[in-house]
């Protein structure tokens, strides 16, 4: 398959540097920075005659004129990124405070006392340790953003290859869409409780989905700006929740509601896995929000800001959830409110002593669901575009509509099964991100080093010199010890085959199967740990199985394919 040489692209870019400032604008067309082939050029001419694609192009141009991001999964080149790193850091802090410091994170912590029957001591230990471990997973995954300029699932091509990354992207989409279902359900419960059922549950679900869609369509710049704006009132409302709920903290109980030691141990492990999944799930999309950072941004800055940005707000709202859920076990009015309206009813009951002021604060907390949903809707669209070249031609904003319709239907169908949905899908997300993390870690610290660089002959052939040449001409610093050639992100003939990662993923899945404890399946290993329902240790087993198998398989893959 004949190709245009990259040197011609370099000449095109460098020749016009001084002629127009627009050369530094981020291109909005989904095909503007791809390495094109002669065949793809012919395909484009055919596409121009396709009435559907013509409509998409016209609509995208119109949205672009309104400030809507129309760019798809393309890589953000180093020279296209922001030079104001301080502003970027402040913006992403606001994003994490808004997205993590809300009811989405809080919702899982309720399940410790109210579903698993654990007391305050056990829920605090399991919940805090579990979600803290997940923060480290997400923080490490976020490092790929500034390094690559690619979305998280696009950079996963360097592990899973062109074809198998589609499977990983599908799992990621299911994860974030599952969170969107949870957000809609909790929001519907809140509005139904505030209005004494005058606003039906489905009304709140539709409202959250609609507002989230509007903001997600706008793109990353609008998204980050709105998230930062929402962070202050939302976190203030949660602070007031601590104050009003403290009046009932006399009902807190340290002991567990169940007495069987084996059941307590199993439930502790299962709750631990749930809380781990709250924060580790961010690992599938975390780097999406760092792609505008300079390529030379130190890893320690990205890691620290992500770790603390997720840990602090999640801990803040999570502890509140544990305390309020524990009170509901023994304080009858709160328990009845939870039985009737779920978590939304419980929060409404907690704010009741403050009358109208309490309802206003609950509305502010309601906004946190929207802020989390916006991120889910935005990032999931890129995963769909990875499914194939045909999917990538459809604009991101249109996929946002499709995904919103899907999770909206799921939320409406499952609106009366909140705890079941949350308890079933969350651990599954934690399983796959554990496998992805361990393979990414081993790829970076073992294979993407000077010791194994010679094995990447095909990946670095001809392109690496051109990549360095382009950076030098544009006066862009070259990142040290960066043994990835991210310019091949969309080159099927140079990307890894992905056989090692895919086989390790399947091997890790067997660990999940034997170690998981869910309503639909209890693995043989999990069954031996707890009582009747076992104890979930799948995250440890799948991470261990994948982590042991990947180095051997990857070495063989590199030796054979040189990429």
Q: How far apart are CA 274 and CA 112, in angstroms?
A: 9
Note the pLDDT of residue 420.
60
Nearest CA-CA partner of 183 in 40, 417, 372:
372
Note the pLDDT of residue 474.
42
Measured between alpha carbons, how far is residue 456 from residues 484, 485, 554 in Å? 9, 10, 12
Query: Quick count: other Cβ atoms within 10 Å of Cβ 42?
Result: 10
Note the pLDDT of residue 137.
95
Nearest CA-CA partner of 147 in 494, 481, 452:
481
Class of the CATH-defined domain 82-561: mainly alpha
**Helix residue ranges per DSSP H, 195-291:** 201-218, 220-245, 261-280
Measured between alpha carbons, how far is residue 219 from residues 64, 66, 79, 399 in Å? 10, 11, 20, 13
Note the pLDDT of residue 462.
52
Q: How far apart are CA 255 and CA 253, in angstroms?
A: 6
Nearest CA-CA partner of 297 in 477, 546, 46, 152:
477
Note the pLDDT of residue 480.
52
pLDDT along the chain (563 residues), means of 10: 42 37 34 38 51 68 63 86 80 87 85 89 93 96 92 92 90 83 85 85 89 86 84 91 92 83 90 91 90 89 94 94 92 89 87 91 89 88 85 86 90 69 64 92 90 71 49 47 82 91 95 85 87 85 95 93 83
Nearest CA-CA partner of 282 in 300, 260, 305, 263:
305
Average pLDDT along the chain: 81
Cβ-contact 193, 534 below 8 angstroms: no
> Between helices 103-114 and 418-442, what is the axis angle to 10°?
110
Q: Read off the pLDDT of residues 517-553 as tens digits, 9 standing for 90 and up.
A: 877 788 899 988 877 788 889 989 999 999 999 999 9
Cβ-contact 168, 432 below 8 angstroms: yes
Note the pLDDT of residue 48.
53
Q: What is the 3-state secondary structure (H, E, C) of 151-193?
A: CHHHHCHHHHHHHHHHHHHHHHHHHHHHHHHHHHHHHHHHHHH
List of E strands, 115-192: none
Q: Read off the pLDDT of residues 33-44 as tens digits, 9 standing for 90 and up.
A: 333 333 344 444
pTM of the model: 0.84
Nearest CA-CA partner of 177 in 285, 28, 40:
285
| C-alpha gyration radius of the chain | 24
Residue 261 CB contacts under 8 Å (≥ 6 apart), including other chains: none
């Amino acid at each position: 398959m004949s190709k245009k040489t990259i040197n011609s692209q370099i000449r095109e870019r460098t020749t016009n540097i001084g002629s127009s400032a627009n050369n530094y604008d981020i291109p909005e067309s989904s095909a503007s920075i791809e390495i094109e082939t002669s065949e793809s050029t012919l395909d484009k001419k055919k596409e121009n005659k396709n009435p559907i694609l013509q409509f998409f192009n016209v609509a995208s141009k119109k949205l672009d004129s309104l400030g809507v991001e129309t760019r798809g999964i393309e890589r953000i080149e180093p020279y296209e990124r922001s030079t104001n790193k301080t502003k970027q850091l402040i913006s992403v802090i606001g994003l994490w405070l808004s997205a993590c410091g809300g009811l989405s994170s809080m919702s899982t912590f309720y399940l410790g006392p109210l579903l698993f029957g654990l007391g305050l001591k056990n829920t605090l230990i399991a919940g805090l340790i579990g979600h803290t471990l997940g923060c480290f997973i997400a923080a490490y995954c976020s490092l790929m953003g500034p390094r690559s300029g690619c979305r998280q699932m696009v950079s996963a091509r360097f592990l899973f290859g062109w074809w198998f990354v589609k499977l990983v992207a599908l799992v990621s989409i299911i994860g974030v869409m599952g969170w969107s279902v949870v957000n809609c359900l909790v929001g519907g419960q809140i509005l139904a409780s505030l209005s004494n059922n005058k606003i039906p549950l489905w009304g709140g679900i539709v409202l959250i989905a609609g507002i989230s869609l509007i903001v997600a369509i706008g793109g990353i710049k609008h998204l980050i700006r709105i998230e930062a704006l929402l962070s202050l009132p939302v976190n203030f409302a949660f602070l007031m929740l601590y104050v009003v709920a403290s009046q009932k903290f006399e009902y807190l109980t340290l002991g567990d509601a169940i007495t069987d030691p084996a059941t307590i141990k199993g439930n502790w492990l299962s709750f631990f896995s749930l809380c781990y999944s709250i924060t580790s799930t961010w690992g599938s999309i975390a780097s999406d929000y760092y792609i505008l950072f300079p390529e030379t941004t130190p890893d320690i800055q990205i890691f620290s800001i992500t770790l603390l940005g997720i840990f602090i707000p999640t801990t803040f709202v999570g502890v509140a959830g544990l305390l309020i859920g524990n009170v509901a076990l023994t304080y009858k009015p709160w328990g009845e409110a939870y039985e009737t309206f779920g978590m939304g009813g419980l929060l409404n009951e907690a704010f009741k002593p403050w009358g109208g002021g309490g309802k206003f604060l609950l509305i502010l907390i309601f906004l946190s669901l929207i802020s989390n949903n916006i991120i889910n809707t935005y990032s999931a669209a890129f995963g769909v575009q990875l499914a194939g070249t045909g999917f990538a031609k459809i604009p991101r904003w249109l996929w946002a509509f499709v995904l919103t319709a899907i999770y909206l239907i799921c939320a409406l169908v499952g609106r009366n099964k909140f705890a079941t949905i949350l308890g079933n899908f969350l651990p599954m997300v934690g399983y796959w991100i554990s496998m992805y993390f361990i393979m990414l870690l081993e790829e970076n610290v073992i294979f993407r080093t000077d010791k194994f660089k010679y094995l990447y002959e095909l990946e670095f052939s001809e392109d690496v010199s051109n990549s360095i040449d382009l950076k030098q001409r544009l006066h862009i610093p070259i990142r040290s010890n960066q043994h990835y050639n991210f310019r091949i992100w969309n080159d099927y003939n140079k990307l890894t085959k992905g056989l090692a990662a895919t086989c390790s993923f399947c091997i890790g899945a067997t660990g999940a199967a034997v170690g998981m404890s869910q309503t639909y399946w209890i693995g043989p290993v999990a069954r031996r740990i707890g009582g009747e329902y076992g104890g979930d240790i799948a995250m440890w087993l799948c991470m261990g199985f994948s982590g042991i198998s990947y180095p051997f398989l990857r070495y063989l893959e590199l030796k054979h394919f040189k990429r």
